[in-house]
A and B are shown apart, each in its own frame.
Chain A
Amino acid sequence: MDKKSFKGYLYLLPSIIIMVCFTLYPLVRAIIMSFLGDYSIINDSYNSIGFENYKALFSDPDFGKSLINTAIYVVCVVPASIILSLLFAVLINSCKKLKALFQTIYFLPYVTSVIAIGIVWRWMFNSNYGLINYVLSIFGVEPIQWLNLPEYAMPALIIFAIWKSMAFNILIFLAGLQTIPEDLYRAARIDSTPRLRVFTRITVPSLAPMIVYSSVIGMIGAFKVYNEVFSLFQGKAGPANSAMTIVYYIYDKFYNSYKYGVAAAGSVVLFLIILALTQIQLKVTGGRKK
């Protein structure tokens, strides 16, 4: 190593130290912990080394449910949020005068505390006084016990999460819409393109990079869903654990059941799922560029 690159590494040192302490070391520790039976975080003791925690994890019906719930959550929230955000972004963008106002309004959920939003949505979902049931009652729908019945817990969570994640996506798409040259739309006009075709053949393809980006970020984020569950169900995972997600399961095992090894095993599984997904997405997006 010559003197110049030594100096360079010196500049990187602070961030390397922080990364090693707070990312790399915990990661390694978590992986090790997941192989230690009956591990205690207090006196660093364990009974056995092996796959005990993983066996416990995969035989726990709650973990199975959390996997399924998380999968349903990802499959529903990410595409719905992207499609809705795209429509809203185009609408906001076409409204030249009030654009700045709408842009701010739609971005509010992103900068507001999830807990605060959760309280508002709890009220909206309230079966007796809630806004959602009121609107539904106009169409003759009987009041729904959104937050009290296990079968409605996931739908409520998904509706809440779609609304919340739209803020970021709309921002990304609005930024993307600014980069589409005005001349393309003028050309489309001269070419007498119907409006729907302008959207599907010009706007959407031009936004393709942003859509890919949003779905990657959205999917990784959705796999790690926890805040939304915590805030909507006041620290629980819904009635009868009906809205249990992977991260919530890990949290529960660690802080409530003190099963540190099982919690570590759960996070390793989540880590592998996200790693695999990122790899697939990198391949797909890498292929697009070529």
Chain B
Amino acid sequence: MDIRIENLTKTYGNLNAVDHMNLSINDGELVGLLGPSGCGKSTTLFMLSGLTTPTEGKIYFGDKDVTSIPPEDREIGLVFQNYALYPHMTVEDNITFPLINRGMKKAQAREEAFEIAKVVKIEQYMKRRPSELSGGQQQRVAIARALVKKPQVLLLDEPLSNLDAKLRVATREEIRRIQQEVKITTIFVTHDQEEAMSISDRIAVMKEGVLQQYEVPQTMYLNPANTFVANFLGMPEINNIEIDVKGGVISADGNILRKGASLADGHYKAGIRPESFYVDENGAALEVSNIRMTGRDLLLFTKLGSTDVRVLVHSYMQIGVGDKLGVSVRDEHILVFDDKEVLIGRF
């Protein structure tokens, strides 16, 4: 089911929780709504579900305007952040509940519940209560309950936030697998950029109710629309520096970073990702003030002139605190922003 959001707005008092949002989602896509808490991503999800009524704007499922259709008639499945499983019912009763509500016979409902339970791999827990399951298993039950009525759209609110780190990675792969297996248009809300990038077909980044960028993860990471997106994506975070351009030469605090850039003379804001640096004896010399071992990489805390800069190098590199390191920036890895913090280009 294609989804189209037009001018969607939700106002609470004077606050625009969601501000004139436009978005199109193709059938079968997995879209991540990403942003810090309070950015309006959950509000958007709840408006898609119908539990929240928009102040303004339209939502289309396919060609049908569903803006004023109540949630029970929207053919959606919704998975809540805390799963909202019915605690006094068994897993099976939880999953058959929506079917029996729609008048399905118990025997058939059970069969269908078993089918979907196999997809999410919880068929051996059918007789248990939610409290007897782990967080990850409860999550699967919630997804099964959402999918059992064969909805056109699956909505997930912070599906992984209640899981521990290891389970989170496994579960997000599961969500991707289930989504591909059922071939259902899926929208999920997250504040975790890594989560969003790893499984989404496209990501919508929001800030203070306004959609910042809607892109394929890789494109978004390489070409963030503005400094907010650039800072929100990537861990460790991007380095924000000030640059001066004169005659095509980009320099920061007197350290030359690039020559021959086709950029008008002036002062700019720029972003360089920690992994965009490479060791180069002829490059700018940085003094290492601190080192963090992260496993695959060493994260070096250094200073470029007066600006703090984080640099990632391979973990087999022998380097100590106080050492000097010459670095250059990979081609097309300096992100330059204008005075409105919008991306001009990569240099």
Q: Does A181 sit at the interface, judged by CB under 8 A? A: yes
* Cα of A208 to Cα of B86 in the assembled complex, Å: 14
Q: Mark B49-77, 1 if CB is under 8 A from A, else 0.
A: 10100000000000000000001110011
CB-CB under 8 A from B98, the residues of chain A are 190-193
Q: Does A50 sit at the interface, judged by CB under 8 A? A: no
CB distance from A206 to the nearest CB of B (A): 7
Is B76 within 8 A of A190, CB to CB?
yes
Given A181, A190, A206, which contacts B78 in the complex, CB threshold below 8 Å?
A: A190
CB-CB under 8 A from A193, the residues of chain B are 97-98, 101
CB distance from A184 to the nearest CB of B (A): 5
Q: Does B145 sit at the interface, judged by CB under 8 A? A: yes
Is B51 within 8 A of A191, CB to CB?
no
Is B82 within 8 A of A186, CB to CB?
no
Q: Mark A158-191, 1 if CB is under 8 A from B, else 0.
A: 0000000000000000000000010110110111
Known A-B contacts A181-B84, A184-B86; the reply to A192 vs B102 at CB < 8 A is yes
Known A-B contacts A183-B80, A189-B51, A190-B77; the reply to A205 vs B72 at CB < 8 A is no
Q: Is chain A's interface secondary structure helix, strand, loop, or mixed overall?
A: helix
Which residues from 83 to 100 on chain B have a C-beta closer than 8 Å to any C-beta of chain A? Answer: 84, 86-89, 97-98
Given A190, A201, A205, which contacts B71 in the complex, CB threshold below 8 Å?
A: A190
Is A192 within 8 A of B101, CB to CB?
yes
Is B101 within 8 A of A187, CB to CB?
no
Which residues from 195 to 241 on chain A have a C-beta closer than 8 Å to any C-beta of chain B? Answer: 197, 201-202, 205-206, 208
Is A189 within 8 A of B88, CB to CB?
no
Count residues of B near A (Cβ-Cβ below 8 Å). 23
Is A186 within 8 A of B88, CB to CB?
no
Q: Which residue of A lies closest to B99 (CB)?
A: A191
CB distance from B104 to the nearest CB of A (A): 12
* Cα of A184 to Cα of B77 in the assembled complex, Å: 14
Is B82 within 8 A of A197, CB to CB?
no
CB distance from A16 to the nearest CB of B (A): 39
Given A190, A191, A194, A206, which contacts B88 in the complex, CB threshold below 8 Å?
A: A206
CB-CB under 8 A from A187, the residues of chain B are 78, 80, 84, 86, 145
| Residue in A183, A205, A206 with the greatest tally of chain B CB atoms within 10 Å | A183
CB-CB under 8 A from B76, the residues of chain A are 190
CB-CB under 8 A from B146, the residues of chain A are 190
Known A-B contacts A186-B51, A197-B101; the reply to A191 vs B84 at CB < 8 A is no
CB-CB under 8 A from A186, the residues of chain B are 51, 78, 80, 84
Is A201 within 8 A of B86, CB to CB?
yes
CB-CB under 8 A from B86, the residues of chain A are 184, 187, 201-202, 205
* Cα of A187 to Cα of B146 in the assembled complex, Å: 9
* Cα of A192 to Cα of B80 in the assembled complex, Å: 16
* Cα of A208 to Cα of B89 in the assembled complex, Å: 13
* Cα of A224 to Cα of B78 in the assembled complex, Å: 51
* Cα of A42 to Cα of B252 in the assembled complex, Å: 105
* Cα of A181 to Cα of B86 in the assembled complex, Å: 10
CB distance from B169 to the nearest CB of A (A): 25
Is B82 within 8 A of A183, CB to CB?
yes
CB-CB under 8 A from B51, the residues of chain A are 186, 189-190
Known A-B contacts A191-B98, A193-B97; the reply to A183 vs B72 at CB < 8 A is no
Which residues from 146 to 190 on chain B have a C-beta closer than 8 Å to any C-beta of chain A? Answer: 146, 149
Given A181, A190, A192, A202, which contacts B82 in the complex, CB threshold below 8 Å?
A: A181
CB-CB under 8 A from A205, the residues of chain B are 86, 88-89
CB-CB under 8 A from A194, the residues of chain B are 101
6 smallest A-B Cβ distances: which pairs? Answer: A192-B72, A191-B98, A183-B84, A205-B88, A187-B84, A183-B80
Other 10 A-B pairs with CB < 8 A, given A190-B76, A191-B97: A183-B80, A184-B84, A189-B71, A190-B78, A190-B146, A192-B73, A192-B101, A194-B101, A205-B89, A206-B88
